[in-house]
Amino acid sequence: MRLGVLDIGSNTVHMLAADVRPGGRPLATTSDRSVLRLMRYLTPDGAISEEGVVALEAAVVQARRVAESERVDALLATATSAVRDARNGAEVIARIEAALGQPLQVLDGETEAELTFLAVRRWFGWSAGQILLLDIGGGSLEIAAGAEELPDAAASVPLGAGRMTVQFLPDDPPGEEGVERLRAHAEQTLAPVLPQFLALPRPDHVVGSSKAIRSLARLVGYPAPGWSGSERMLLPRASLGSWIPRLARLPATARQELPGITPDRTFQIVAAAVSLHAAMTALRLDELEVSPWALREGVLLRYIEQLSWSDTAR
């Protein structure tokens, strides 16, 4: 069967269509993205402005059309940080559902972390042992860790790249003062969730997922041999830290000329780098591996899993 996953995030509205079967690997057929950067549309009281909601409705309608053209059997529509945290979230959700013509599942932070962890576990396999996951979106940073498909610990903190850019790095270029304020804020925000992860066994694999982390890995990381002769990307904390002052001195137009930094990420990449570096430092991580699978794949896998159990029950 063909499924579509509509991921309404803080930075993009992304529709992924994939052919799936119980016990099989999802095979992507189409990927369609609209770049919104919803954090730009937040009003001082934390609501998404009318302009932002209209842009969101248009992106959702576009995604629905792509899903229809792909003849998906089911469209799994999810929303994450920007929508769930907005002061007018209930109204925004109602308008998205009207534009979609179906219900929208709004994921809480821990569920988002758990689904992303499921995707990473399946990608790396059981032999990967203890995994520690970091995922940075536009509104939040998710952390999850464990040796099974469900993590032993999962947390979501409001340190997403878009949110932190608006709050701490509004200038272009942002400069060192803004970076240091963001770093201090990140350390303070992470402190309450650290003990549950530091108490777990040391991870066999530290994994980063999300477009922001993949972009940073292409900029500061290096390739290394993977399993079965494949190539994997590693992102060292030291290299990331050395790049942050350089990124903060460059205007956005110059940052997008760097390797791996696409135009839709150039405004937020400094905040992503600072949040990731702060998390890696707080968790005492020297480097991470980059996973090509993240939340959308996790949503697909959970749905396939439920189909499998339903078939078994019948």
Of 137, 156, 158, nearest in space to 46 by CA: 158
pLDDT band at residue 224 using 50, 70 and 90 as cut-offs:
confident
Q: Does the pLDDT value for residue 111 go beyond 50?
A: yes
Higher pLDDT, 199 or 39: 199
Q: Answer for the pair 145, 133: CB distance below 8 angstroms, yes or no.
A: yes
Q: Answer for the pair 47, 56: CB distance below 8 angstroms, yes or no.
A: no
Please report the pLDDT score of residue 265 as a whole number: 87
Please list, in sequence order, all residues whose beta carbon lies within 8 angstroms of the beta carbon of residue 160, skipping any fewer than 6 positions away.
Answer: 10, 39, 81, 136, 137, 138, 139, 140, 141, 275
pLDDT band at residue 228 using 50, 70 and 90 as cut-offs:
very low
Share of the chain above pLDDT 70, in %: 96
Q: Which part of the chain is CATH 3.30.420.150? A: 109-295
pLDDT band at residue 118 using 50, 70 and 90 as cut-offs:
very high
* CATH domain 2-106 topology: Nucleotidyltransferase; domain 5 (3.30.420)
Q: Which part of the chain is CATH 3.30.420.40? A: 2-106
Give the C-alpha distances (Å, rounded to integers) separating 16 from 65, 82, 93, 305: 12, 19, 20, 18
pLDDT band at residue 30 using 50, 70 and 90 as cut-offs:
very high
pLDDT band at residue 227 using 50, 70 and 90 as cut-offs:
low
Higher pLDDT, 289 or 23: 289
Of 93, 89, 76, nearest in space to 7 by CA: 76
Q: Does the pLDDT value for residue 257 go beyond 80?
A: yes
pTM of the model: 0.93
At 83 the three-state DSSP class reads helix
Instruction: Report the length, in residues, of the chain.
Output: 314
Q: Does the pLDDT value for residue 254 go beyond 90?
A: yes
How far apart are the C-alpha atoms of 290 and 91, rounded to whole Å? Answer: 36
pLDDT in tens, 55-93: 999 999 999 999 999 999 999 999 998 899 999 999 999
Give the C-alpha distances (Å, rounded to integers) separating 169 from 3, 18, 120, 156: 38, 37, 31, 21
pLDDT band at residue 230 using 50, 70 and 90 as cut-offs:
low
pLDDT in tens, 191-200: 999 999 999 9
Of 245, 296, 311, nearest in space to 12 by CA: 296
Please report the pLDDT score of residue 64 as a whole number: 96
Q: Which amino acid is at 45?
A: D
Write down the architecture of domain 109-295 according to CATH: 2-Layer Sandwich (3.30)
Q: Does the pLDDT value for residue 313 go beyond 50?
A: no
